[in-house]
Amino acid sequence: MRFPITAWSCGLAVLAAASLVLAVVGTAQADSGSDVVSVPVSFEVVTDNQSGLPCAVGGAIPSLLPIEHHETVRGHITGSRHELDNHRLNGTVYTHGDGYDESFWRYPRNNSYNYADQMARRGHISITFNRLGYGDSTAPNGNDICFGTEASVVHQIIGQLRNGDYRGARTPHFDRLGLVGQSAGGFIAEQEAAGFHDIDALGVLDAGELNAMPLLAIRSGQQQVRCLTDSRHGYAGLEADGRQFADDHIYNADPEVADYLVSHRTIDACAGTRNAAQTLAGDGVRNSLIKVPVLVLSGANDKFFPHPQLQAKAYTQSRKVTVEEVPATGHAVAFSREYRRFQDSMNTWLNSNHL
């Protein structure tokens, strides 16, 4: 299990663990005064790489052959109780970025920032999960996990959702499925969409090849140094410390929200940024294979990916590309004081794609 880096967040982790125990016992209600429920689910996956974009994995002698582990991805399906009682549904899968975990989509401190809950109130169903190595999902060695591997994992999750072949108190089948990725999750989502053609719409948030700033390469290189000198089971932080993380990710946020994000920042798989250059080049070429509608969204003050209109040019074969820029917002696009603008943009896009 990948833990937040800062030690002073232990008390918060205990509270989070207690909440998880309550959720696992049965269906956890997200708000006692609402009809929104969040059902714990899990998916059994294999860390192969069938995405079509090989990457170097392994320890001292990297290999382009995937290193296969049998792992468990854990997450939640969030929606209205009425909707989740149905056997066949439409929904959207969300994958978080580096430095975060599933709580990016299910913020526990203030329900207004709980994206999955807020979308459920607007009639949408969200499938969120901890990527391998984060939260309560299992953690293979981080030298064995690249974005192509994770794209294959997401593909397996999508297949299981369509077939109802996963674990949980409720395991409905999904007919239409969107896929949304934030930051590193955006690159993973692109590879999944280009390699497997099994989704109905794609959202790329705070990510992209054409709008990547030099700071991304700098932080990736710095993480690789930490991977060599101070990694934990093949994981290391993208930023050196909480102050650097806050400077890179957070803009115009309430102090309580900013403190939570900093105290819960995660360490990330070393093989991910080790293959960063290949990911940027490979995704840039393969984005022309994506034909479903695409949303490109970033905060106007994002230090890594500030120009969504440039990234929109990558999806040359998409039926429709929508561009959104959230004002006064940084890389943590869901958590600025403009969070309602972000939620409104997502709601409009989900509605336009019948999700």
Long-range contacts of 259-264 (CB under 8 A, 24+ apart): 260/12, 260/107, 260/109, 261/100, 261/332, 261/335, 262/6, 263/4, 263/6, 263/8, 263/9, 263/12, 264/4, 264/9, 264/12, 264/100, 264/101, 264/103
User: What whole-number distance in Å separates Cα of residue 226 and Cα of residue 163?
Assistant: 41
- The pLDDT, as a whole number, for residue 11 is 37
Helix H or strand E segment including 193:
helix 184-196
Report residue 223's pLDDT band, with 50, 70 and 90 as the boundaries: very high
In the predicted structure, residue 6 carries a pLDDT above the cut 70: no
In the predicted structure, residue 336 carries a pLDDT above the cut 90: yes
Mean pLDDT value across residues 153-164: 98
Q: Look at 244 and 48; give whichever has higher pLDDT.
A: 244
Return the structure tokens found at 28: 């956890």
- The pLDDT, as a whole number, for residue 279 is 77
Comparing 10-19, 135-144, 201-210, 308-317, which segment has the lowest mean pLDDT? Answer: 10-19
Find the distance separating the first CA and the last CA of the chain, reported in whole Å.
Answer: 32
Kindly tell me the sign of the dihedral angle through the C-alpha atoms of 132, 92, 184, 236: negative
CA distances (Å), origin 97, targets 23, 41, 60, 81: 24, 20, 26, 28
Mean pLDDT value across residues 24-52: 74
Beta bridge partners of 75: 41, 129
Indicate whether this model's pTM tops 0.85: yes
Per-residue pLDDT tens digits for 65-82 = 778 889 999 999 999 999
**What structural domains does the chain harbor?**
7-352 (3.40.50.1820)
Give me the percent of the chain exceeding a pLDDT of 70: 89
- The pLDDT, as a whole number, for residue 277 is 76
- The pLDDT, as a whole number, for residue 100 is 98
In the predicted structure, residue 8 carries a pLDDT above the cut 90: no
**What does the mean pLDDT of the chain come to?**
89
- The pLDDT, as a whole number, for residue 53 is 84
Q: Look at 253 and 3; give whichever has higher pLDDT.
A: 253
Mean pLDDT value across residues 51-71: 80
